[in-house]
């Protein structure tokens, strides 16, 4: 199986089996990990394809309860003993601020109040910090928990930011994966079947063990106001244009970082 083409979804029969990896470069992957259902099932899928899975939990002002993710980390280690899970907690505040306020006022002038869409900046900055982690540690694969039914979030929309994120990683020789981006896939159902979770429904409940973010409401307000006068297709086109510029900025700044690194 070529891991760059399709990842193996874990089944009861496959839990004790590991697909053959194509090269030593595919021994490790850095996964954006919030502790929620989608990123936790992503970790399950990756555990069937990599020897080491870095669970990258990024923190900044406005996030609460990051250590809640450790409950699911413990379950993952118990369920997949053949895989080395390494939990990392990394503050990425400066990356978020850098990306958010770079050309902020010109962004307001060109795109109205869309630069207030904090969730897009937040997740893009996470990917930026994750890219740096991969470069610093020689990791050739990165991943996130993007799902098919979350297209309102720019980083999980294949018509907005997903291709740009892949382009950003690829520019530096890293393959970016979306292990659970499949139509009809219920990450909650699969986690329950694998006995990672004890309840069939955990999203938006106390059982999800996900980081709390206080700024989702701002993004929801921006989206609601914008869609009063525009179609969702117009929203996608506007955000794609805006965030393509931001990814270009990340690539430029990371190239400078690479050149300055010993």
The per-residue pLDDT for range 23-39, each reduced to its tens digit, is 444 589 999 999 999 99
- Is the domain 27-260 a CATH 3.40.50.620 member? yes
Model-level pTM? 0.85
Measured CA to CA, the distance from residue 222 to residue 20 in angstroms comes to: 46
Q: What is the pLDDT of residues 129-181, one digit of tens each?
A: 999 999 999 999 999 999 998 888 888 899 999 999 999 999 999 999 999 99
Q: Tell me what the mean pLDDT of segment 207-230 comes to.
A: 76
CA quadruple 79, 85, 89, 95: dihedral sign: negative
Q: What is the pLDDT of residues 232-250, one digit of tens each?
A: 898 888 888 888 989 999 9
Instruction: Quote the pLDDT of residue 117.
Output: 67
Instruction: Quote the pLDDT of residue 21.
Output: 40
From residue 262, alpha-carbon distances to 92, 170, 257, 259 in Å are 22, 22, 10, 8
Instruction: Quote the pLDDT of residue 2.
Output: 41
SS3 of 129-174: the string is HHHHHHHHHCCCEEECCCCCCCCCCHHHCCCCCHHHHHHHHHHCCC
* pLDDT reading at 77 higher than 80: yes
Instruction: Quote the pLDDT of residue 204.
Output: 74
Q: Residue 73: name the closest of 61, 84, 64, 85 by CA.
A: 85
| Domain layout of the chain by residue ranges | 27-260
Measured CA to CA, the distance from residue 74 to residue 43 in angstroms comes to: 12
Lowest-pLDDT range, 60-64, 114-118, 161-165?
A: 114-118
Q: Tell me what the mean pLDDT of segment 9-15 comes to.
A: 52
Instruction: Quote the pLDDT of residue 16.
Output: 42
Q: In whole numbers, what is the pLDDT of the chain averaged over residues? A: 83
């Amino acid at each position: 199986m070529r891991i760059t083409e399709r990842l193996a979804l874990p089944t009861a029969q496959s839990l004790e089996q590991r697909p053959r990896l194509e090269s030593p470069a595919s021994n490790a992957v850095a996964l954006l990990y919030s502790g929620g259902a989608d990123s936790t099932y992503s970790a399950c899928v990756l555990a069937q394809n990599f020897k080491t899975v870095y669970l990258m939990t990024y923190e900044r002002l406005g996030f609460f309860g990051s250590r809640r993710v450790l409950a699911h980390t413990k379950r993952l280690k118990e369920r997949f003993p053949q895989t080395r899970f390494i939990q990392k907690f990394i503050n990425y505040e400066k990356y978020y601020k850098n990306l958010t306020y770079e050309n902020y006022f010109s962004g307001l002038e060109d795109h109205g109040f869309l630069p207030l869409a904090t969730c897009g900046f937040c997740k893009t900055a996470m990917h930026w910090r994750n890219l740096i982690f991969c470069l610093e540690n020689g990791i050739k694969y990165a991943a996130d928990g993007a799902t098919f039914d979350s297209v309102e979030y720019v980083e999980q929309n294949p018509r907005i930011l997903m291709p740009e994120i892949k382009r950003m990683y690829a520019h530096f020789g890293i393959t970016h994966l979306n292990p659970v981006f499949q139509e009809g896939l219920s990450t909650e159902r699969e986690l329950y079947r694998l006995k990672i979770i004890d309840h069939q429904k955990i999203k938006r409940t106390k059982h999800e063990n996900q980081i709390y973010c206080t700024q989702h409401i701002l993004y929801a307000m921006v989206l609601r106001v914008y869609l009063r006068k525009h179609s969702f297709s117009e929203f996608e086109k506007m955000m794609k244009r805006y965030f393509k510029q931001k990814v270009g900025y990340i690539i430029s700044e990371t190239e400078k970082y690479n050149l300055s690194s010993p």
